[in-house]
Amino acid sequence: MLLELKGITKLFDKDNGVRDFNLTVAEGEFITLLGPSGCGKTTTLNLIGGFLQPDRGGIWIEGRDITHLPPEKRPVSTVFQSYALFPHLNVLENVAYGIRFYRKEKKKQALSLAREYINIVRLGGYEKSKIGNLSGGQQQRVALARAMATNPRIMLLDEPLSNLDASLRHSLREELKSLQRQLGITMIFVTHDQSEALSLSDRIVVMDKGYAIQIGTPREIYFYPISDYVAGFIGKSNILTRAGETIMVRPEDIKMAKNAQGDYTISSITFMGQHTEYIISAEDTTLEVVALGKENSKFMQGDRVNVTITHQLGQTGQGDRFFVP
Ligand SMILES: Nc1ncnc2c1ncn2[C@@H]1O[C@H](COP(=O)(O)OP(=O)(O)OP(=O)(O)O)[C@@H](O)[C@H]1O
How high does pLDDT run on average in the chain?
89
Indicate if 44 and 154 belong to the same structural domain.
Answer: yes
- What is the CATH classification number for the domain harbouring 178? 3.40.50.300
What pLDDT, on a 0 to 100 scale, did the predictor assign at position 120?
85
The model carries a pTM of 0.87
Bridge partner residues of 295 (DSSP): none
Quickly list H helices, 84-135: 91-103, 107-120
The CB of 48 under 6 Å from ligand 1? The reply is: no
What pLDDT, on a 0 to 100 scale, did the predictor assign at position 324?
36
Find the 306 Cα to ligand 1 centroid distance in Å: 46
What pLDDT, on a 0 to 100 scale, did the predictor assign at position 174?
87
Indicate if 32 and 116 belong to the same structural domain.
Answer: yes
Mutate to test the pocket of ligand 1, among 8, 14, 15, 16 (most ligand atoms within 8 A of CB): 16
The residue with greater pLDDT, 21 or 245, is 21
Bridge partner residues of 125 (DSSP): none
Measured over all CA atoms, what is the biggest interatomic distance in the chain, rounded to whole angstroms? 80
Domain-located, residue 318: no
Indicate if 87 and 203 belong to the same structural domain.
Answer: yes
Residue percentage of the chain with pLDDT more than 70: 96
User: Is 80 exceeded by the pLDDT of residue 314?
Assistant: no
Indicate if 94 and 183 belong to the same structural domain.
Answer: yes
The CB of 41 under 6 Å from ligand 1? The reply is: yes
Residue percentage of the chain with pLDDT more than 90: 57
pLDDT tens digits along 129-142: 999 888 888 888 89
* Distance between CA atoms of residues 286 and 279, nearest Å: 7
Query: What is the value of ipTM here, to two decimals?
Result: 0.96
Bridge partner residues of 33 (DSSP): 190, 205
Indicate if 138 and 202 belong to the same structural domain.
Answer: yes
Number of domains the chain is built from:
2
* Burial (CB count <10 Å: 0-12, 13-18, 19+), residue 315: middle
Q: At what angle do helices 107-120 and 91-103 cross, to 10 degrees?
A: 120
The CB of 16 under 6 Å from ligand 1? The reply is: yes
Asked if residue 241 lies in contact with residue 304, where contact means CB atoms within 8 angstroms, the answer is: no
The residue whose C-alpha atom lies closest to atom 31 belonging to ligand 1 is 38
What pLDDT, on a 0 to 100 scale, did the predictor assign at position 316?
55
Tell me the mean pLDDT in the region 160-166.
80
Find the 164 Cα to ligand 1 centroid distance in Å: 22
User: Is 50 exceeded by the pLDDT of residue 321?
Assistant: no
Tell me the mean pLDDT in the region 65-94.
88
What pLDDT, on a 0 to 100 scale, did the predictor assign at position 80?
81
Indicate if 204 and 261 belong to the same structural domain.
Answer: no
Look at residues 204, 228, 252 and tell me which one is the last residue of a structural domain: 228
pLDDT tens digits along 30-79: 999 999 999 999 999 999 999 999 999 999 999 999 999 999 899 999 88
What pLDDT, on a 0 to 100 scale, did the predictor assign at position 165?
79
The CB of 250 under 6 Å from ligand 1? The reply is: no
The residue whose C-alpha atom lies closest to atom 16 belonging to ligand 1 is 40
CB atoms within 10 A of CB 128: 9
Residue 277: band (very low, low, confident or very high) from pLDDT cuts 50, 70, 90: very high
Which atom of ligand 1 lies nearest, measured to the CA of 210?
14
CA geometry: angle at 290 spanning 273 and 232, to 5°?
125
Domain-located, residue 146: yes
Mutate to test the pocket of ligand 1, among 9, 15, 41, 206 (most ligand atoms within 8 A of CB): 41
* Distance between CA atoms of residues 232 and 224, nearest Å: 12
Asked if residue 90 lies in contact with residue 127, where contact means CB atoms within 8 angstroms, the answer is: yes
| Listed range (68-77, 171-180, 286-295) with the worst mean pLDDT | 171-180
Find the 158 Cα to ligand 1 centroid distance in Å: 13
The CB of 42 under 6 Å from ligand 1? The reply is: yes
What pLDDT, on a 0 to 100 scale, did the predictor assign at position 205?
97
Find the Cα–Cα–Cα–Cα dihedral 108, 114, 119, 123, rounded to 10°.
Answer: -110
Question: Residue 286 sits in which domain range?
Answer: 237-309
Mutate to test the pocket of ligand 1, among 14, 19, 37 (most ligand atoms within 8 A of CB): 37
User: Is 70 exceeded by the pLDDT of residue 294?
Assistant: yes
Find the 222 Cα to ligand 1 centroid distance in Å: 26
Which atom of ligand 1 lies nearest, measured to the CA of 52?
1
Tell me the mean pLDDT in the region 8-34.
95
Bridge partner residues of 23 (DSSP): 5
What pLDDT, on a 0 to 100 scale, did the predictor assign at position 315?
61
CB atoms within 10 A of CB 81: 17
The CB of 43 under 6 Å from ligand 1? The reply is: yes
Indicate if 98 and 170 belong to the same structural domain.
Answer: yes
Q: How far is CA 183 from CA 147, 155, 215, in A?
A: 13, 12, 24
The CB of 35 under 6 Å from ligand 1? The reply is: yes
Q: Where are the extended beta strands (E) located within the chain? A: 3-11, 17-25, 30-34, 56-61, 64-65, 76-79, 154-158, 186-191, 203-208, 211-216, 238-242, 245-249, 254-258, 264-271, 275-281, 286-292, 304-309, 314-315
- What is the CATH classification number for the domain harbouring 258? 2.40.50.140
Indicate if 83 and 26 belong to the same structural domain.
Answer: yes
Indicate if 205 and 247 belong to the same structural domain.
Answer: no
Quickly list H helices, 153-246: 166-183, 194-200, 218-223, 228-233
Residue 224: band (very low, low, confident or very high) from pLDDT cuts 50, 70, 90: confident
